[in-house]
Amino acid sequence: GTLHLGHAMNKVLKDIIVKHRLLSGKAAAFVPGWDCHGLPIELKVLQSLKSKERKGLTPMSMRGKARDFALKTIGEQAEQFKRYGVWGDYDRRYQTLDPEYEANQLEVFGKMFLEGHIYRGLKPVNWSPSSRTALAEAELEYPPGHTSRSIYVAMPVVETKEGSGLEGLEGKCSLAIWTTTPWTIPANLAVAVNAEIDYALCEVEGGSGELLVVAQDLVESLSAKIGKGLVVTKAIKGSQLEGCAYKHPLYDRTSPVVVGGDYITTESGTGLVHTAPGHGQDDFIVGQRYGLGVLSPVDDAGRLTEEAGEEFAGMNVLGDANGAIIEALQREGALLLEESYEHKYPYDWRTKKPTIFRATEQWFASVDGFKADALGAIDSVEW
């Protein structure tokens, strides 16, 4: 659309450098260019159409309208840049929608594919069950007032390692995790900790002998929430817990304690993060690092599949699945607490309904095969 202050700052700063080099006798020709591909342009076109026009829109007519919009905007922006006083060879401008430019892109992509740099793999994306499609960030809205059913769950420790601080407590202590998406519990493949956070082994008052691992800064908060005293018996560094293992409370599988990233804090929850690589970006990255695999037992319509087990198969993750999973956790004695939690949550801008994170097949471009050459090429550049 029309240029804004961000465009002005970017172009004026660039123009200062170009003019300085030109006036210094250097060949510093500036050839303007426009990126004409992407969802923002399509969204602008859709917003300009009436509801009836959108329904009858075919992919080809959509592309035609997007092209017309892009060319019109390029003409307007070029004139505005000239009014800014920005020097440039506007007659030789490049546009990514030009057939010649697209042909060059396809040639490079084809070469990358033939050399094995392009591959197919699973990756979690924003998914809209209501429109059954992946969504870009630009297609998400965050309306106020969204409330989730958040839960605190005890994951029983079954394997420890020397120096973990939990030696000899296999089957006697649990990791306390917190999540606002109970429906992702069937996809849990790890519990992540922050290596630098101080954790505490706490005894639950009441004579049960139950032991919980929780971030030291959140002991008081968790105690107040579950309505039981928590007596700290030992301090443990997050890095010590890496390599221990726990049993999933609903399935016969054992998963590891892993070290996550800076996203694990003591601002809320327990300081231990339920990790489902098939349903979260941070989870996916950690899962790749530890070779956890990607489990995403959810179909296009947002229903749990057979991978989640017969008890939950067919349930809607934004509906009855949450209640059924919470009930199952309570039945197994793993549910510490359930409470409502109001927070920002992504909605589909078209249907105005909640979205989910779900792993689907995506195309990936790997730079591993030419990373060294690319970095080496930097040395040949005269800056």
Per-residue pLDDT of the chain (383 residues; tens, 9 = 90+): 789 999 999 999 999 999 999 999 999 989 999 999 887 898 889 889 988 888 889 999 999 999 999 999 999 999 999 999 999 999 999 999 999 999 999 999 999 999 999 999 889 999 999 999 999 888 899 999 999 999 999 999 999 999 999 999 999 999 999 999 999 999 999 999 999 999 999 999 986 789 999 999 999 999 999 999 999 999 999 999 999 999 999 999 999 999 999 999 999 999 999 999 999 999 999 999 999 999 999 999 999 999 999 999 999 999 999 999 999 999 999 999 999 999 999 999 989 999 999 999 988 888 888 899 999 999 998 87
- Across-strand partners of 193? 259
Q: Are 191 and 159 in contact (CB under 8 A)?
A: no
Q: Are 214 and 270 in contact (CB under 8 A)?
A: yes
- Domain with residues 145-289+301-342, CATH architecture: Alpha-Beta Complex (3.90)
Give the tokens for residue 207: 């004579």
Closest CA to 318 of 100, 65, 122, 130: 130
Q: Can you tell me the distance from the alpha carbon of 272 to that of 154, in angstroms, rounded to the nearest whole number?
A: 11
Q: Can you tell me the distance from the alpha carbon of 278 to that of 183, in angstroms, rounded to the nearest whole number?
A: 12
Q: Are 258 and 275 in contact (CB under 8 A)?
A: yes
Phi first, then psi: give them for residue 103, nearest 5 degrees.
-65, -40
Q: Can you tell me the distance from the alpha carbon of 30 to that of 128, in angstroms, rounded to the nearest whole number?
A: 42
- Exposure pattern of 199-228 as b/e (b: 16+ CB <10 Å)? bbbbbbeeeeebbbbbbbebbebbbeeeeb
Q: Can you tell me the distance from the alpha carbon of 297 to that of 316, in angstroms, rounded to the nearest whole number?
A: 11
CA distance to 33, 79, 82, 100, per residue, from 88 (Å): 10, 11, 8, 21
3-state secondary structure 146-189: CEEEEEEEEEEEEECCCCCCCCCCCCCEEEEEEECCHHHHHHCC
Q: Can you tell me the distance from the alpha carbon of 334 to that of 181, in angstroms, rounded to the nearest whole number?
A: 16
Amino acid in position 50: K
Work out the number of other CB atoms within 10 angstroms of the CB of residue 156.
17
DSSP state of 304: B
Give the tokens for residue 201: 């082994």
Residues 6+ positions from 326 with CB-CB distance below 8 Å: 149, 151, 182, 335, 338
Q: Is the model's pTM score more than 0.85?
A: no
Q: Where are the strands (E) in 55-172, listed by range?
A: 94-95, 118-128, 133-135, 140-141, 147-159
Q: Can you tell me the distance from the alpha carbon of 228 to that of 363, in angstroms, rounded to the nearest whole number?
A: 49
Q: What is the pLDDT of residue 208?
A: 77
CA distance to 40, 144, 146, per residue, from 345 (Å): 21, 8, 6
- Across-strand partners of 202? 212, 232
Tokens 């601080």 correspond to what residue?
Answer: 165
